[in-house]
Amino acid sequence: MVTVGIWNEHGVMDEEFLFWDNQIFAQQIGLAWPSVERSTPSGTRLSRSLRSGKRIGQRGEGCRNVPSSLLATRTFLEPPVPTHYLTKDIGAVTYTPAMSDHTPTPLAVTAVDAIEHVSGTYPGQRRVHARGLCFDATFTPSGEAASLTSAAHLGSGPTPVVVRFSNSNTNPTVPDGIRAGRGLAARFFLPDDTTTDLVSVNIPVFFAATPEQFLELLDALEKDPGTGAPSPEKVKAYAAAHPSAAAGLQEAARMPIPVSYGTARYWAIHAFIWVDPDGGRHPVRYHWEPDTGPQELSEQEAGVKDPEYLAEELLRRLADGPVGFSLRVQLGKDGDPTDDPTKAWPADRPEIVAGHLRITAPVTDQGHWAAQVYDPTRITPGIELSDDPVLAFRSQAYAVSYGRRTEGN
């Protein structure tokens, strides 16, 4: 796949085109001129076709990508007449103004260095959540959120989504049958050709209240050269120094081993702020509830599973029909902390079901999707970031990881 940017004399990209493969690219820059039937996105407002190729970006923006389920046949007739070419797939590191500042700060570089120091480096891979698989899905809102947020995908729909399920490990070959983090990252393709992400894991609270605490934890997790394992004493000392982190550490220690990626609960952890059509602001926290209810394996059952059973199981399950999750949203009250991902809100806070996710099939272009960055600060009008410092920091750390993995490091 190739993206081509057309740059003006001021150094600003005016147009950007997506070509699904090099053959089409060659044809469309003039090395061949046949009228060819190609699969291109259509049928949603995502796709605004120019004379050829697919216009996927606007001035100052970058790549937009489209789920393969939306692919339909279109005829290309003419080559574009661009002024300059940039023949490099730039993935998804393009950020809207609404996003947190993703410029890697020294702290973000230090954090990714520390992750590598503790967990190792696997060239070309995400620094965590390295193993994953992407799926086409559709999100249908329930209508319950419409008076609380003007976000397009939560008001009307359905909205196309690409979901990435992942294991949290840095090493992509760690077998599935262990207690470990699992991720569900979702990218929603909105009617105005923008996207928004929702990134979630299988624990409800985090184990560090700030980026600095996260670094302290990584320090505590450094392997003792004598035992080859992290020192329990250091982790205990971390928990003692940061009592609010204890809940997240306990959740991490008892993470379920899921029967399926499709039978786990996933929490987005941070608070976000919904902004309603009248400008009212509502703190919220999201989680995905599987239609099956949570189902987990015992350690004994998991021990005899294939090392990659989670992907295989989900593909088999999807052959029998879609896999679904409800998007449940907890509504905070005044005084509920929005700046601390280690602290749950009181259990009696009301919850609504904002909509339903229906996962249908693996995307056809796993390589393309593996390159994307799912960024929790990629929000959309109607949703704002909370004052949680970890939330803003993640965007920077993800950009560092993206930079390294796409440079082959």
Query: Is residue 345 close enough to count as binding ligand HEM by CB under 6 A?
Result: no
Rounded to an integer, what distance in angstroms lies between the CA atom of residue 248 and that of residue 251? 5
Nearest to 351, CA basis, from 294, 290, 282 = 282
- Answer for which of 128, 284, 354, 357 binds ligand HEM (CB under 6 A) is 128
Of 132 and 355, CB closest to ligand HEM? 132
Query: Is residue 397 close enough to count as binding ligand HEM by CB under 6 A?
Result: yes
Residue 405's CB is within 10 A of a number of other CB atoms, namely: 21
Residue 65 identity (one-letter amino acid): N
Region of 67-75, 306-314, 327-335, 387-395 interacting with ligand HEM (CB under 6 A) = 387-395
Query: Is residue 405 close enough to count as binding ligand HEM by CB under 6 A?
Result: yes
Query: Is residue 287 close enough to count as binding ligand HEM by CB under 6 A?
Result: no
SS3 state of residue 41: strand
For the chain, the 3-state helix, strand and coil shares in percent, each to the nearest 5, are: 25, 25, 45
The alpha carbon of 108 is separated from its chain's Cα centroid by a whole number of angstroms, namely 18
One symbol per residue from 60 to 99: x for binding ligand HEM (CB under 6 A), - otherwise; what is it? Answer: ----------------------------------------
Quote the least distance from Cβ 45 to ligand HEM, whole Å: 25
Query: Is residue 398 close enough to count as binding ligand HEM by CB under 6 A?
Result: yes
Is the distance from CB of 379 to CB of 196 less than 8 angstroms? Answer: yes
What phi-psi label fits residue 40: left (phi over 0), alpha (psi between -120 and 50 degrees) or beta? beta
DSSP code at position 181: -
Q: CA-based angle 46:51:52, to the nearest 5? A: 75
Quote the least distance from Cβ 211 to ligand HEM, whole Å: 5
- Answer for which of 18, 151, 199, 354 binds ligand HEM (CB under 6 A) is 199
Tell me the H-state helices in 86-231. Answer: 106-119, 152-155, 211-220
Region of 13-21, 49-57, 349-357, 399-407 interacting with ligand HEM (CB under 6 A) = 399-407
Query: Is residue 394 close enough to count as binding ligand HEM by CB under 6 A?
Result: yes
- Answer for which of 28, 200, 202, 377 binds ligand HEM (CB under 6 A) is 200
Q: Is 106 exposed, middle or buried (0-12, 13-18, 19+ CB in 10 A)?
A: exposed
Query: Is residue 155 close enough to count as binding ligand HEM by CB under 6 A?
Result: no
Tell which positions 99-118 bind ligand HEM, by CB under 6 A: 111-112
Residue 189 identity (one-letter amino acid): F
- Answer for which of 55, 126, 187, 317 binds ligand HEM (CB under 6 A) is 126
- Answer for which of 99, 137, 185, 255 binds ligand HEM (CB under 6 A) is 185
- The sign of the torsion formed by the CA atoms of 290, 309, 366, 58 equals positive
Q: Which of 102, 117, 129, 242 is catalytic?
A: 129
Query: Is residue 363 close enough to count as binding ligand HEM by CB under 6 A?
Result: no
Quote the least distance from Cβ 148 to ligand HEM, whole Å: 21
Query: Is residue 370 close enough to count as binding ligand HEM by CB under 6 A?
Result: no
Please report, to the nearest 10 degrees, the dihedral formed by the alpha carbons of residues 64, 69, 70, 73 taken in order.
Answer: 120
129 is catalytic: yes
Owner of token pair 């007739």: 77
- Residues involved in catalysis: 129
Binding site for ligand HEM (CB under 6 A): 111-112, 126-129, 132, 164, 166, 183, 185, 199-201, 206, 211, 214, 268-269, 341, 373-374, 390, 393-394, 397-398, 401-402, 405
